[in-house]
Amino acid sequence: MIIYLYFDNTKKKLSNKEVNFLFKCIKKENQYCNLYNGEWVTNENTISIYSPIDNSLIGTIPSMTKQDIDNIIRNSKAAQILWGETPVSKRAEILHKAASLLDERAEEIAEVLMREIAKDIKSSLSEVKRTAEFIRFTADAGKHMDGEAIGADNFPGFKKNKMSFAQRVPLGVVLAISPFNYPINLSASKIAPALVAGNSVILKPPTQGSISALHLVKVFQEAGIPSGVLNTITGKASEIGDYVVTKDEINFINFTGSTEVGRHIAKIAGMVPMMLELGGKDAAIVLKDADLNEAAREIVSGAYSYSGQRCTAIKRVLVTEDVADELVSKMLEQVKKLSVGHPIDGCEVTPLINDSSVKFVQELIDDAIAKGATLLYGNKTEKTLMYPTLFDNVTLDMRLAWEEPFGPVLPVIRVKDMEQAIEIANKSQYGLQSSVFTNNINHAFYVANKLEVGAVQINNKSERGPDHFPFSGVKSSGMGTQGIRYSIEAMSRLKSIVLNIDEP
């Protein structure tokens, strides 16, 4: 099989070792390629990516083989050595360039993102711009990740003649795996900290979201990331996922996605450090002294933005009986105001990512109705467009009280008091974030300290940003802490050089 490499219209015959690559420019024919050793490559097995909005073809991506993966990992490992020795200031400079390029192309890339994951155009644009800011902040943070010098004499029995110089060093090859709902931001949130720390990165983007993520990777390449330091692997994880996460040469796995897959990776990957950002069932706890107008507004925007396809979406409301009626009627007012439709029109509720998501969300709706929940609004679907659905009087025997819909449906669970709200909140297998709505600061901290989650938002919807804040999940919501400085720390290690000075 003769494989020709096309780059800037020059034709180059590839060596046998690379025979499984066929190369085409991104811009041409919507055929997207992988970045391998500084060149865009593909092979004959491609996957077509269709828009969940109208099923139109967006483009094709390569379905990489295990042999391709071996080549890519080998290349990443080799390229990391020089990159690890590149001054941090130089690495940061390249990241700053990438951030500027991303800003320049924000509209163009936002449109691709909107088409590929049906995210409304406003949120798509803010994802791209947020990512540029993230990369910029990471570049600066990376320049301030100094090591430390520790004297021995403050430990009993040791003298001043021993000194540890602890400096931050890269781990090596980082495997970054991102989810469909933020293919740009949650790819960059792994790539940028890993690169500024001196690692090389292999990105496995979500199949549905790959094209958007490849646009991001192209920006890094054009910013000057050396060949091999950032490579990509596209293809269905169902075919290559287990293979790539069990490769010994991988020094860190940075995964964001479902709890089911995260658990699976943790089980099969063995002794490799990893960060897992997984599912959530974020509760909004509303106490009787809350500002109910504010609570209703925050809860509805937190629950239904991007059709609820956010790990930090509010996915259940725990409200004390004494204010439940008032809160529910205010929430219903807000839900009725939500715009539903085509992402280009900036609608909050847009088509879900695929049919299986629609089917799963509908199952939870049907189960709640069958078990007697009060349907206040919704339960209407047109193809993949599910209208916002609101339930009251949801009880703990209903799946909707516990499962993550990742869709535009919200259950209201009435509780007798603050203690019962805490108890039900902590009974969930998930522990990502929670919101507490109250005007009593003592109650706010009392509840916040009791909740088993990564973060508690006081009088605000649950959300990840700003991106330098620590972001973590406990229980089934993950392990490890994300957030710019925390991500750089997670994807590097302290190496100590101990100086022993002989007494004169």
Residue 200 or 312 with smaller CB distance to ligand NAP: 312
100 binds ligand NAP (CB under 6 A): no
Nearest approach in angstroms of CB 268 to ligand G3P is 24
Q: Yes or no: say if 250 and 244 are a contact pair by the CB < 8 Å rule.
A: yes
310 binds ligand G3P (CB under 6 A): yes
Angle at 242 between CA 251 and CA 138, to 5 degrees: 40
The interface partner of residue 180, options being ligand NAP, ligand G3P, none and the CB cut-off 5 to 8 Å by kind, is ligand NAP
What is the C-alpha to C-alpha distance for residues 46 and 69, in angstroms, rounded to an integer? Answer: 15
Q: Kindly determine how many residues on this chain lie close enough to bind ligand NAP according to the rule CB under 6 A.
A: 31
Q: What is the CA radius of gyration of the chain?
A: 24
Pick the catalytic residue: 298, 311, 347, 348? 311
Part of the chain binding ligand G3P (CB under 6 A), chosen from 63-71, 74-82, 151-159, 310-318: 310-318
Where helices occur in 246-374 by DSSP H, the ranges are 259-268, 292-304, 321-336, 355-370
Amino acid (one-letter) located at 28: K
What is the C-alpha to C-alpha distance for residues 338 and 73, in angstroms, rounded to an integer? Answer: 46
**200-239 binders of ligand NAP (CB under 6 A):** 204, 206-207, 236-237
The residue within the footprint of ligand G3P, chosen from 20, 34, 75, 181 (CB under 6 A), is: 181
The interface partner of residue 241, options being ligand G3P, ligand NAP, none and the CB cut-off 5 to 8 Å by kind, is ligand NAP
User: Which SS3 state, helix, strand or coil, does residue 422 take?
Assistant: helix
Residue 198 or 480 with smaller CB distance to ligand NAP: 480
Residue 327 or 432 with smaller CB distance to ligand NAP: 432
Part of the chain binding ligand NAP (CB under 6 A), chosen from 50-58, 252-260, 380-388, 415-423: 252-260
CA 289 → CA 122, 415, 420, 451, distances in Å?
34, 15, 16, 19
What is the C-alpha to C-alpha distance for residues 328 and 57, in angstroms, rounded to an integer? Answer: 41
312 binds ligand G3P (CB under 6 A): yes
Residue 33 annotated among the catalytic residues of the structure: no
What is the C-alpha to C-alpha distance for residues 152 and 166, in angstroms, rounded to an integer? Answer: 13
182 binds ligand G3P (CB under 6 A): yes
What is the C-alpha to C-alpha distance for residues 33 and 63, in angstroms, rounded to an integer? Answer: 10
- Helix or strand holding residue 135 (H, E): helix 121-142
Q: Detail the DSSP E strand segments found in 198-329.
A: 200-204, 230-232, 252-256, 274-277, 282-286, 314-320
Residue 347 annotated among the catalytic residues of the structure: no
The residue within the footprint of ligand NAP, chosen from 177, 197, 364, 490 (CB under 6 A), is: 177
128 binds ligand G3P (CB under 6 A): no
Nearest approach in angstroms of CB 312 to ligand G3P is 4
Pick the catalytic residue: 277, 298, 403, 463? 277
Amino acid (one-letter) located at 291: D
> Which positions are annotated as active-site residues?
277, 311
Rule CB under 6 A: which residues touch ligand NAP?
177-182, 186, 204, 206-207, 236-237, 241-242, 245, 256-258, 261, 264-265, 277-280, 311, 404, 406, 432, 473, 478
Which residues contact ligand G3P by CB under 6 A? 181-182, 310-312, 463-465
